Amino acid sequence: MSQVFHAHHDPAEFVPFEVGTVQWLRRNGDNGNQALASGIWQITPEQAPEPFNLPINEDETIYIVSGHIRIEVEGQETFDLTAGSMASLSKGALTRWSIIEPTVEFFVYS
């Protein structure tokens, strides 16, 4: 079992995701840990021209490398996240995402 997961941001390694594309660093189940996954997500306004609902099925922590997204949390506030912003969303949160600018995001599911 690998105890270290390592990658470089490589456009050739991105694969289709639910919306946008992802380069996985670690997938759920790697090294026996079903809850943990991480990678880089890319999305453009053209790939998601309208806001979309995204129920949070796992705890998710994100860091915006570049770009701009807006996350509305049902019953709470709206967050505008730009380069350098971080957020941590709890499992069960009901969210609505708007892609304002092409965005690169590092994420961790746990």
Residues with Cβ within 8 Å of 14's Cβ and at least 6 positions away in sequence, in order, are: 21, 22, 23, 40, 42
pTM for the whole structure: 0.92
Cα(37)–Cα(24) distance, integer angstroms: 8
What's the pLDDT tens digit per position in 36-92?
A: 999 999 999 999 999 999 999 999 999 999 999 999 999 999 999 999 999 999 999
| pLDDT at res. 77 | 92
Cα(76)–Cα(39) distance, integer angstroms: 27
